[in-house]
Amino acid sequence: MSAACRSAVRDLLPWYVNGSLESEEAGSVRAHLEGCASCAAELDALGEIASLVRLHGVPIAARPRSAPFPAPVASVAPRPARRLRLSLAGALAAVLVLIAMLGFFRLGSPPAPSSRGGSSSTPPATPAATGLAVLPFTNTSPDEEYFSDGLTEDLLNALVKIRDLNVAGRTSSFSFKGKNEDDRTIGEKLGVANILAGSVRKSGNRVLIAVQLVQAVDGFRLWSETYDRTLGDIFAVQEDIAKSVARALRVTLPGTKANATRPNPEAYDLVLQARYAMRVNTPEAMRRAREDLERAVSLSPGDAAAWAEMGLLHIREQERAQNTQEAQQALQRTREALTRALELDPDLAVAHSRMASVQRDSGDFAAAERSTERALAADPKNPIMLGNASTLYSILGKLSDAIALQEQARRADPLNVITHASLVSLYVRAGRLDEAEATARKAVELGPDSPTAHQKLGNVLLMRGQAEAAGAEYRRLNELEGSGEHDRLYFEAIVEHTAGHTEASRQAAEEFEKRFAAEDPFYAAEIRAWRGESDAAFAWLDKALSIRDPLLGQLKAELFLSPLHADPRWNELLKRVGLPTG
């Protein structure tokens, strides 16, 4: 290294430590080092050295520069931060360099020990500094991706419960799976300062897990560990990782229940397989998920989490139901599984949140609200709990609360298409169409193949009177979902009416009723309501009530029923369904 480069390293370290890298002078020094082939390793390690200095509370003052830099030896392209930085020899060299470099700076007196019993006086981390993304662990085994994904998800769910830790949501973190994004970019996109990443190799009953916690801005490693254990030790490994992360970020991990029991390892593995299959969500994958969960609860009947996953399976079955009878049967199976989960663990947040959806679809809105409150009390920062709560409050007409919760969910899970899409509907109901359109377009940008994103954008455009553009979005929705004539006729009747094409809308509405209304009276009611045919709309809603259509729980949230709100029969219908009026 040349004398000029050694000088550059000495000058740049204070700016790293003090967080003033954006200054013009710091930029010129960094540019010199980035352009010098012989300085690559030194610049790569500089962030870690600075973090060590910050960690130990050593104040460093910047030195004034007296001369410009000579031209660099060779130009190299900037390189993304690497998660694995220094070898043992490199780490030792960095420490020696640090010791030597400290002689060039004015050092303060050693700080007094902190009140927490340690020797460091570093103040408690700010919310920004405790932002964390748990990236999907890399699977290094054939056909074992379900395990690495499941392990990552469970770690994330454990860490999100730490009060002073702001953990990015699963959907956002998993959006980086298989991508070669650098740490700094990930941190910026997710709004976090720290990244937890690792790899998993599973072979039979053996599990090898390598994990590390790094700073997003410079890739400095705060903590790392490798675990070579049996599958039966996986729960102890998860606890150790969570404790280590909490310790490294100076936050407090919630205590565990004194009588908590660990599930059967084989049952846990089956639950992870089922969870992975449910995300695939094809008929064959759902069949495998059901078989796995049935085996899991047979092996470990006292495992509340397994029963909660069984509840989710039945919710998915309800969503895929071909008629109201199938939906009602799936709803009852969901209730039974979640009731068992809550008998085993009355504080299981995810079970309360899912039970709220069962109670909502059964018309017991008071019970649904109580279950939602318990879910939020147990897991108040989980984007899934926040989103589910927002959906319920939207249905109950608590629009301000619903928007606040969904906005909180979006902050926690900023790359989640569904979170953005859900917020669109709320903004539309609140008359905030500019925000609704901007959010809908962001949802389409995040998920160009998301049917929900295209539907929400179509709704906004329809409200703006842009029928042709709305129709294009609805057609794209139908292409993606493959819903065929059912959705084509449904949206055609609505779009053509908005466009002023009365006859085309009437023909589509009548054809829909002829072919589909007997099984889907709620959709027929929406078409008639949007067309201004109130008597026909209420007749179809009465039919939906007679067959206990679960969609009735969404009466107050459905855009296409809004023309009925001024009709005196509307509040009477809400009372019959069990929803609050007004």
Residue 69 near residue 28 (C-beta atoms within 8 A): yes
Q: Which long-range contacts (CB under 8 A, 24 or more apart) does 146-149 make?
A: 146/272, 146/273, 146/275, 146/276, 146/277, 147/200, 147/202, 147/207, 147/269, 147/272, 148/199, 148/200, 148/202, 149/174, 149/272, 149/276
DSSP-derived secondary structure letter, 39: G
Which contacts qualify for 301-304: CB closer than 8 Å, 24 or more apart? 302/261, 302/263, 302/344, 303/263, 303/264, 303/267, 303/268, 303/271, 303/344, 304/340, 304/341, 304/342, 304/344, 304/345, 304/348, 304/351
Contact status, residue 392 vs residue 372, Cβ threshold 8 Å: yes
| Radius of gyration of the chain measured on its C-alpha atoms | 28
- Phi, psi of 202, deg, nearest 5: -115, 125
In sequence order, the 6+-apart residues with CB closer than 8 A to the CB of 127 are 164, 166
Longest dimension (CA), the chain: 88
CA 335/CA 331 separation, integer angstroms: 6
- Report how far residue 261's alpha carbon sits from residue 69's, in angstroms, rounded to the nearest whole number: 64
Single out the residue of 198, 247, 209 nearest to residue 83, CA to CA.
Answer: 198
Contact predicate 475/482, CB 8 Å: no
131-248: in CATH 3.40.50.10610: yes
For 4-30, what is the HEC assignment? Answer: HHHHHHHHHHHHHHHCCCCCHHHHHHH
DSSP single-letter state for residue 135: P
Q: What is the pLDDT of residue 121?
A: 30
DSSP string, 81-92: --SS---HHHHH
pTM equals 0.74
- Which pLDDT score is estimated for 51? 42
Give me the residue spans of the domains in the chain: 3-104, 131-248, 483-582
Q: Are 286 and 299 in contact (CB under 8 A)?
A: no
Query: Rounded to whole angstroms, how far apart are CA atoms 80 and 57?
Result: 27
For 16, 273, 386, 423, the CA distances from 401, given in Å and listed in that order, are 42, 36, 11, 12
Which residue intervals of 19-114 are DSSP H helices? 24-34, 40-55, 88-101
The tokens of 249 are what? 């970020």
> Whose CA is closest to 174, among 193, 158, 189?
189
| Partners of 230 in the β-ladder | 206
pLDDT in tens, the chain (582 residues): 544 555 555 555 554 444 444 455 555 555 555 555 555 445 545 544 444 443 333 344 443 443 444 343 333 333 333 333 334 344 444 443 343 333 333 233 333 333 323 323 333 334 357 899 999 999 998 888 999 999 999 999 999 999 889 999 999 999 999 998 999 999 999 999 999 999 999 988 899 999 999 999 999 999 999 999 999 899 999 999 999 999 999 988 776 665 566 789 999 999 999 999 999 988 999 999 999 999 999 999 999 999 999 999 999 999 888 777 888 899 999 999 999 999 999 999 999 999 999 999 888 999 999 999 999 999 999 999 999 999 999 999 999 999 999 999 999 999 999 999 999 999 999 999 999 999 999 999 999 999 999 999 999 999 999 999 999 999 999 999 988 999 999 999 999 999 999 999 999 999 999 999 998 999 999 999 999 999 999 999 999 999 888 889 889 999 999 999 999 999 999 999 989 887
Report pLDDT for 363. Answer: 85
Structure tokens that stand for 515 in this block? 């072919």
